[in-house]
Amino acid sequence: MSRPILAVDVDGVISLFGFDEAPDKSVAQFELVDGVVHCISLLAGKRLLRLAEHYELIWATGWEDKANFYLPGMLGLPDLPHLTFDGAARFGSAHWKLGPLDAYGKGRAMAWIDDNFDDSCYEWARERPEPTLLIPTEAQRGLDEAETDALIAWARGLES
């Protein structure tokens, strides 16, 4: 069986927001991305590198191809495949990602990490014939260690 896919959102997973106090410079750095300041989690980059040992990582973000322009150099990641949403990106929910995710992941197990799941995302995951895991994040923390461990355990469980 091929490795499962891990669909990775950026805002609220790697680019943190909504915090009361800025994270320590050892764990996050502020970067200018297309004229907008983003707080990039350096820990998320290290965690994604660990997850890449178990998953095929893809960008599932409204950043689309811009994710590869900015993030690999900041986080030490390789360029990743990215989904295209044809202008459907909407702030406040992730349901607009379902069609491209479904097409890309057809026939393969998939985990998806995002900060904006709604009921339609969970319904999609339940109805997919392939194993599917949704991992929600909190935008001010992004991808943390517990979520990383859960994703690794899930991928290992698929192997057995």
pLDDT in tens, 62-72: 888 999 999 99
CATH number (domain holding residue 100): 3.40.50
- List all residues 6 or more positions away from 91 whose beta carbon is below 8 Å from its beta carbon: none
- CB count within 10 Å of CB 159 equals 9
CA distance 110 to 131: 6
Collect the ranges in the chain with pLDDT lower than 70. Answer: 1, 87-94
How many independent structural domains does the chain possess? Answer: 1
Domain holding 43, by residue range, is 5-159
- List all residues 6 or more positions away from 33 whose beta carbon is below 8 Å from its beta carbon: 15, 66, 70
Q: State pTM to two decimals.
A: 0.92
Tokens of 24: 């320590």
For residue 40, the surrounding DSSP H or E stretch is strand 36-41
Predicted pLDDT at 84: 87
Predicted pLDDT at 22: 84
